[in-house]
Structure 1
Amino acid sequence: MNFDDLVAIDIHTHAEEPCNHHRDDGYNEFQAGMARYFRNPAGAEGMLPTVPQTAEYFRERKIGAVIFPVDAERETGFRRYSNEEVAQLCAENDDILIPFASIDPHKGKAGVREVRRLVKDFGVRGFKFHPTMQGFWPNDYKLVYKMYEAIEEEGAIALFHTGQTGVGSGMRGGMGMRLKYSNPVHVDDVAVDFPDLKIILAHPSFPWTEEGLMVAQHKPNVYIDMSGWSPKYFPEIFIKYANSILKKKMLFGSDWPAITPDRWLKDFEEIGIKDEVRPLILKENAMRLLGAA
């Protein structure tokens, strides 16, 4: 990937299986709920983009994209999209896509082995964790610390969903999703115990926005991606920190396909981000984190 040719790097996009519309009713109901939450009709209509379609969208806009599936088989019952397949599709579109993977921490030693194999054999650059969707505390050292150790040793990045989620929103019992797991303060322990592990807190962490800002300010290895929200809804304190003490820690992320970069970037232009800070958020911070600067 030639970063010089890119106008931005989207650090947070989702891979969807080509066969998503053949899933059972439970999965279709889940996607319909996500579509309502994000006001995204494509999800409700079963028109979610494939990885190659995603690559074409981002290529047309000269935006690099970190892309990943989410492995939450244990909690949701939905089959995961193969990490290997996503990585292979990224390799076929390596001018624009950067492969991350996802492994449910409950897979234990098998998951640790998979981390190392995916990095060494498939060029995976990072791993997405969704504590609410995967049902675990990020600082559960007996469950997940061996996996963090492997990610750190392999020089990869750990990306954690934080805050509220559209997963299960409005569904009976919230589809079993427990929001408590995604308070970013629990990732603070991870940043202490793995000081050389590069960590991204995904989203503005509502309603724990200030906890997320606190962790990113205090721990040198923690960044925040600004995905999952239209920027016009960012809390004032979030924008204030982005413009000042966290200006080199904030990362552009859309949450594609739930939120498109077109929508996110349009709204980003209309909030009070300083001119000298915009290039940092849109590209330069991500390049440094990815080791490209």
Structure 2
Amino acid sequence: MIIDMRARPPSPQFNSFFQRDFLEGLATRVGAKRLSQAFCDESAHDFIDEMDAANVDVAIALGRNSPAMKSGKIVTPAGVIPNQHIVDLQLEFPGRIIGFAGIDVAGEIHNPMAETQSFVVDGDLHGIFIEPQRAFGGNPDDARIFPLYELCQAESVPVNIMTGPVSGSHVGFADPAPIDRVAGQFPDLKIICGHGCWPRVDEMIAVAFKHANVYVSPDCYLFMPGAASRYVGAANGFTADQFLFGSAYPVLPLDQAVEDFKNLPFSYTSLEKALGLNAKSLLNL
């Protein structure tokens, strides 16, 4: 079983964020060999065909509700995708697309507590995705988010937190120390580190070593120079149950992401866990 923990189906709503000029620049820098044809054609149905071709069973569609961001010459568009659209994708492609609600922790777009309650706790979505670095220029351990963490911990709602070099206005936001503090304060909260806090790989691994409730999902950044040996070394050892495959689609095409992932020096057991078994357990699928 293969579960892609970071995929954004190429619907018009998602492609309003992944504008082609923006995506081409990012995809080239992380080593994409080409853009997905389904993305170019803006077809969620063709995306399912690409899943089949890559043997991906389930794609986790991460919603997004965050403002635009500028850092030097990098301009990230605003990502405002109604969570009802994520529900609609689940309904249209049952069992193939599973959604996480995009939650605006700043409360500018919606009330984060009410939105999580409505779409996840009382609704059909399976987790939430947050970007505090973009929402209000804060870290994941900002006390303003704590009530949301408390709700998610109480209701066993997984929280995918944006990390990595473009999570905020400067690379300091990649620091996993705030994740360490959140995991310590909320030990039963299921925390997924999207982009795996790259380039702070060693610190990310250390946080996962300390906290079994922290999941590492470097997705496209797994293939950056020098990163794979450290992530995979940990996945073959103490993070075997905490490592998750992700493509970051449409940044990487699905077939390339799966093939490149399988070619890394995972043990057989660790590969099976990372490709799908860990996500299946995490999401209670």
CA apart distance, 1:204: 3.6
Q: Distance in 2 between matches of 1:224 and 1:32?
A: 25
> Quick check: 208-217 or 9-18, which moved more?
9-18
Q: Distance in 2 between matches of 1:211 and 1:117?
A: 35
> Quick check: 46-55 or 272-281, which moved more?
46-55
Mark the CA change 1:227 to 1:49 in structure 2 (over 3 Å): closer, same or farther: farther
> Quick check: 126-135 or 144-153, which moved more?
126-135
Mark the CA change 1:22 to 1:206 in structure 2 (over 3 Å): closer, same or farther: closer
Q: Determine whether 1:260 maps to 2:250.
A: no
Mark the CA change 1:84 to 1:232 in structure 2 (over 3 Å): closer, same or farther: same
Specify the code of the residue in structure 1 equivalent to 2:274.
Answer: I
Q: Distance in 1 between matches of 2:162 and 2:242?
A: 16
Q: Distance in 2 between matches of 1:276 and 1:224?
A: 17
> Quick check: 66-75 or 212-221, which moved more?
66-75
Specify the code of the residue in structure 1 equivalent to 2:284.
Answer: G
Gaps of 5+ in 2: 70-75
Q: Determine whether 1:246 maps to 2:246.
A: no
> 1:222-245 CA deviation, whole Å, 9 max, x = no partner?
111130235474342222111111
Specify the code of the residue in structure 2 equivalent to 1:112.
Answer: M
Mark the CA change 1:56 to 1:154 in structure 2 (over 3 Å): closer, same or farther: farther
Q: Determine whether 1:184 maps to 2:176.
A: yes
Q: Distance in 2 between matches of 1:245 and 1:20?
A: 35
Q: Which residue of 1 aligns with 2:142?
A: 140
Specify the code of the residue in structure 2 equivalent to 1:200.
Answer: I
CA apart distance, 1:197: 0.9
Q: Distance in 1 between matches of 2:157 and 2:127?
A: 5
Mark the CA change 1:230 to 1:74 in structure 2 (over 3 Å): closer, same or farther: closer
Q: Determine whether 1:70 maps to 2:72.
A: no
TM-score w.r.t. the length of structure 2 is 0.84
CA apart distance, 1:178: 2.7
Mark the CA change 1:19 to 1:285 in structure 2 (over 3 Å): closer, same or farther: closer
Gaps of 5+ in 1: 1-6, 168-175
CA apart distance, 1:10: 0.9
Contact 1:217/1:246 (<8 A) preserved: yes
> 1:48-79 CA deviation, whole Å, 9 max, x = no partner?
74444433422453421111122113656725
CA apart distance, 1:258: 0.5
Partner of 2:251, secondary structure, is coil
CA apart distance, 1:207: 2.1
Mark the CA change 1:77 to 1:267 in structure 2 (over 3 Å): closer, same or farther: closer
Mark the CA change 1:20 to 1:157 in structure 2 (over 3 Å): closer, same or farther: closer
TM-score w.r.t. the length of structure 1 is 0.81
Q: Which residue of 1 aligns with 2:73?
A: none
Q: Distance in 1 between matches of 2:201 and 2:116?
A: 30
Mark the CA change 1:101 to 1:245 in structure 2 (over 3 Å): closer, same or farther: same
Number of equivalenced pairs: 274
Q: Give the alignment's Cα RMSD to 1 decimal.
A: 2.9
Q: Which residue of 1 aligns with 2:72?
A: none
Which of 10, 14, 26 is equivalent to 2:8?
14
Higher RCO (CA 8 Å, separation ≥ 6 residues): 2
Specify the code of the residue in structure 1 equivalent to 2:235.
Answer: A
Mark the CA change 1:22 to 1:213 in structure 2 (over 3 Å): closer, same or farther: closer
Specify the code of the residue in structure 2 equivalent to 1:288.
Answer: S
Q: Which residue of 1 aligns with 2:277?
A: 284
Identity over aligned pairs, percent: 24
Contact 2:3/2:58 (<8 A) preserved: yes
Q: Distance in 1 between matches of 2:267 and 2:160?
A: 26
Contact 1:84/1:122 (<8 A) preserved: no
Alignment of 1:41-80 (within 5 A): 42=35, 47=40, 49-60=42-53, 61-73=55-67, 75=69, 78=78, 80=80
Contact 2:219/2:245 (<8 A) preserved: yes
Mark the CA change 1:59 to 1:32 in structure 2 (over 3 Å): closer, same or farther: closer
Q: Distance in 1 between matches of 2:83 and 2:48?
A: 17
Q: Which residue of 2 aligns with 1:3?
A: none
Q: Distance in 2 between matches of 1:100 and 1:22?
A: 18
Q: Which residue of 2 aligns with 1:213?
A: 205
Contact 1:15/1:86 (<8 A) preserved: no
